[in-house]
Structure 1
Amino acid sequence: MRMGLRIFLVYALFIGLTGYFVLNTVMKEIRPGVRQSTEETLVDTANLLAEILREDVKHGTLGQSHWPTVLKAYGERQPGATIWGLAKNQVNHRIYVTDAKGVVLLDSAGVAVGQDYSKWNDVYLTLRGEYGARSTRSDAEDPASSVMHVGAPIRDNGQIIGAVTVAKPNSSLQPYVDRTERRLLWYGAGLVALGLLLGALLSWWLSAALRRLTTYAQAVSEGRRAELPHYRGGELEQLSTAVEHMRTQLEGKAYVERYVHTLTHELKSPLAAIRGAAELLQGEMTAAQQQRFVGNIASESARLQQLIERLLNLAQVEQRQGLEQQATVPLAALVDEVLKAQCARIEQAGLQVERLIEADVKLYGEPFLLRQALGNLLENALDFTPPGGTLRFSAQVRHHDVDVCLFNQAEPIPEYALPRLSERFYSLPRPVSGRKSTGLGLNFVEEVMKLHGGSLQIGNVPGGVQVVLHLHTVSTLPS
């Protein structure tokens, strides 16, 4: 299981459990909270009525007063109110008054007058001077039919002469409880979903960051080029810097060892030739022989210099992980510059040069490396093109890709050699001199193409050999 998925699952479990316990706790507190608030209102109402009804209870005129009519009219009222989106079309309070013995004197419902309510807690406790309240089901089998009753004492000079009770069915509160629970569930579900979304984004970001670093480390371990991922501060930046430092240390050591062995091997042959020529020059020989051996020393020295320079250039390119100075480069002007640098060899060999490149074709990359790559290709083509032969530069543009082609008239390349032409130090004998080159030119071109995200292709075509540089990052802009 991926680490990002594990992080998300742990985070989701934490959010889920937290949401469950919080919602469960709050949901359990909604109903008691609503009832407590309602009970507090009933207490205030009952005490207010106790003061209002005191004189009629004291003089025994409650039944003959206007209060029965008032309470009946109260029970028939239709408020037509909208409370937080819920309609209230009837009153729900029931009010009854008892004397000092608990006998009902007045009942807004008109059903309990004359009955003995002295056993009910709201009357019993109130008449004893305590807080009287009870919750009783109107239907013993239905928990939702419970009714809250709150009593208040009617006093005359400190003596309790009766009690007034205000009752309210819990069913009248249920719509508000249900609405609150629904809203809480929706809000809770929304917060949990938002938390999971944030957790998913966090785990995705973290796993993506680690995945980039892992990809980079794998590429380094396999010897491939890869761009170092960049992070802004924190442990990831420190880890990225540490991995890059480790790569630099390890690659630097291995790179130096490999190039020391390579350079030692490649220097043996020209050094042996120079040493042999120098030893022969110490003996008796004609002036013509001396000139021939001096020429051998000069040519082998030039070969050594060329080998060292190309090894240094190749090492510089191989060590780089990406392009440094990127710009838009007109291809036609770049080819003209390369041809101008080799104009002496071209004129001496009497070669026919064709440049079939539109002026608006432009490459996007590092100009210096692109020029070096084209220069190596041209130099390699000149080595194999016979006097009076043809060189042709062309370009084929497709969307944002371009194929830069260099054709040179020459003998076909042997099939066994085609797959190895870009190998380091692999070279074919030159037709004129029969000698091999350093074998680093095409390898350098291939490394430059890799840096540009492109590729190098070499193949036989009718009449000669064609090299194709395929670049992916190309812009065809008007000149």
Structure 2
Amino acid sequence: MKLFLVYFLLVGVGLFTFFSNATQQLHPIIRQSAENAMLDTANLLAEILASKTHDDQLDSQFFNEAFEHYRLRNMNASIWEMKKLSPDLGLYITDAKGKVLFHSDQQEIGKDYSRWMDVSRTLKGEYGARTTRIEANNDLTSVMYVAAPILKHNQLIGVLTVFQPASSSQPFIEFAHQQLLTQGSVILLIALGVGALLTYWLTRSIRQLSTYVQKVRSGERPVLPKIHERELAELAEATESMRQELDGKSYIENYVHTLTHEMKSPLAAIRGAAELLEEGNMEVNSQRKFLHNIVSSAHRMQDLIDRLLSLAALENLTELEKVQTVNLLTLVKIEIDAKRSHADRKNIHFKIEANLITDTSGDEFLLKQAISNLLDNALHFAESNTGILLRLEQDNQFQTLCVFNKGPLIPDYAIPRIFERFYSLVHPDTHQKSSGLGLSFVQEIAKLHEGSIHLLNVEKDGNAGVEAEFRIKR
């Protein structure tokens, strides 16, 4: 219903604007057409009069009888369904000084018309025309005047002006206005009918989709409805995919598969060390070594489980549960201090470049976790005796933290998978893989803050390395 009302409003406003503008243009367009016809008439009569003139002396007497017969004509003409019964064209002729020699109203003969715009401009060799109102405040009393020069041997010897009251074209204007109104109403009704059909068609698909979602919500397993609209069909398919994940099939299967795969290595290490310890007759140093392997593998399993649980909790969130006022630069400094010992072991120093970074809203704990993971990733892959550059920027929409480390580049095959759960590259120092959950964790935190995370191979000051770009909304 709302969709139909919006459509009705848009169509109504659009048609009203169009027909309102068209109606406003009717009057000047019809006047322009009349002026064009009057100009041709004036020039034709001027040529006829010039041909009857001898010795450059205007002789307009022959117009008297012709004009009297013209006035008495019964036209009885049907023009576009409008009846025209009698003539309404007037005429006057002046000499080269503007004195009236002939006028359809004989009372005007002998008067000086040289100051009227139609006569004065024509005498100057310009196009002469004017519109004059008999009653100043009534446009229907306007009279249109169009003049033409009377030329004999290329000499201007007088002016011939034809005039016509504006009221003669008013019936045509009113008729055209009525036609526009009628046709506009028909078009509006047709548009509303089409709009109603389209609305029903669209809402039918929406109702189907809504019914499907309600059944899913109630725990049923409905068949995905067939929807012909491409956008709604895509939405229905996305809803079906979401339902399958909510059912736990693909989601749990993926987690169990990857978790089982990741657990194999530490479990195999623990089992192997335990079997060797059971054999006895082992030196103390060897026992300590295998016990260390068991503890290390257990820690790795515990870390994997903890990170997996944290990531699963994040993936189930649709918005931040705890929003605070935080300062990204302050959080960066806190996490750098926490990584000092790790950095000192590789003789890596930190450098911060930051403009004025204002406070923003976010979850302080999650942002610290994201920064910590980015620093861990940079420290693991940074070359010894180098530096890690942290650059903070902000604009009207986002605050951005860029973390650059000199070291091995991300292989092309790994770039599309770098944020996948459990996907990890071999660390150059330990020659082992991490849990592969750190960057996935950072990505989820960025999404919750309406931001993004990107890892890029870049070159800075001649040093090739990797830069992480972590962006959150201000």
TM-score by length of 1: 0.49
TM-score by length of 2: 0.49
Q: Which has the larger radius of gyration?
A: 1
